[in-house]
Amino acid sequence: MTSLTAFTVALLAALILTPLVRDAAHGAGLLDEPEARKQHRVPLPRLGGVAIAAAFFVGIGAALVVARIIGRRLGVDTGHLPAELVGVAMIASVGLLDDLQGMRARVKLLAQLVVALMVYGMGMSIDRLDGPWGTFELGIWSLPLTVAWIVGVVNAVNLIDGLDGLASGVAFIAASAFGVISLTIRGGDPLLPVLAAASGAILGFVRFNLHPASIIMGDTGSMLLGFLLAAGGIGLTQAQPTGAPFWIPLVVLGLPLADTLRVIVRRLAAGKAIFSPDRRHVHHRLLARGLSQRSAVLVLWVVSALFGAAGVGLAALA
């Protein structure tokens, strides 16, 4: 009941808020201008992430109200939910600042590290790795692994946001896969309202983000979605009494993680800074092979869905 409420309310909120944010951004001149590395040829409002974040919070709020009415605790309200809500607000604020006035890559990375450290201090952490061998406690390695995971996923989603509907579609597929996996593990169901709210907010935004998009999510949205997926992966692996094996989130997020790792390795091999922009991402390569934007996005959605299905299958067998 709470999960259905979170999804439905977040979906409706995104469908209502996205065009409002789009029109407001147009009126304020907050547009993303075309340039050589970008695929759109006309200026587009770049604050779609604001609508996603607002819809997510509205969905979570509705779920909390329903949970109280039916006399059921949301479950994560005493666990990761406070950290997730604070993290969402903070990472969205960083992205918004970058969308409004720009931010140097190193400064943005530092801000991401601060957010990761903040939510770690609030209890959202990777403390153990469950698997066929049993449970391996991380001890002092919990902090660096948690921070690396959050920052890594945030940037992976941010970097794959290069075509209309690509990052939003990949994030929706991954969040949906996480939701299915949460049903297959003991103690995973408290994650559902958060994943449902995220999925609803993304789906409502995608309606306006498909090619030709009338609004893009900007760093506000891409970093927000990356954080939500990172948090979802932590929730799955740290569920009580037994979490999903640590490789499950890696498989589900295989497309953005593999693409980011490949590009970073190529930049380092070429003697370039890892933050230097280029056109070597997988979506750029598909376009170079002659695919249209829509075809390239569809291909990558299918690939992402295959990764998601593989993660669900592996979780069911674990």
pLDDT tens digits, one per residue of 201-237: 999 999 999 988 889 999 999 999 999 999 999 999 9
Asked whether residue 69 carries a pLDDT value surpassing 90, the answer given is: no
Cα–Cα distance, 221 to 268 (Å, whole number) = 27
Where is pLDDT greater, at 293 or 174? Answer: 174
Query: What mean pLDDT comes out for the span 147-163?
Result: 94
Amino acid, single-letter form, for residue 126 = I
Residue-level pLDDT at 116: 97
End-to-end CA distance of the chain: 27
Cα–Cα distance, 293 to 164 (Å, whole number) = 7
Residue-level pLDDT at 79: 55
Query: What mean pLDDT comes out for the span 56-81?
Result: 77
Residue-level pLDDT at 125: 93
> Predicted confidence band at 75 (pLDDT cuts at 50, 70, 90)?
low
Where is pLDDT greater, at 285 or 54? Answer: 54
Lowest mean pLDDT among 35-49, 154-168, 250-264, 294-308: 35-49
> Predicted confidence band at 45 (pLDDT cuts at 50, 70, 90)?
confident
The mean predicted confidence, pLDDT, of the chain is 88
> Predicted confidence band at 17 (pLDDT cuts at 50, 70, 90)?
very high
Q: Which of 267, 4, 12 is nearest to 159 (CA)?
A: 267
> Predicted confidence band at 200 (pLDDT cuts at 50, 70, 90)?
very high
Residue-level pLDDT at 78: 41
Residue-level pLDDT at 103: 87
Cα–Cα distance, 82 to 145 (Å, whole number) = 20
Residue-level pLDDT at 77: 42
Residue-level pLDDT at 115: 97
Tally the domains of the chain. Answer: 1
pTM over 0.85? The answer is yes
Amino acid, single-letter form, for residue 68 = R
Residue range of the domain that includes 16: 2-317
Asked whether residue 198 carries a pLDDT value surpassing 60, the answer given is: yes
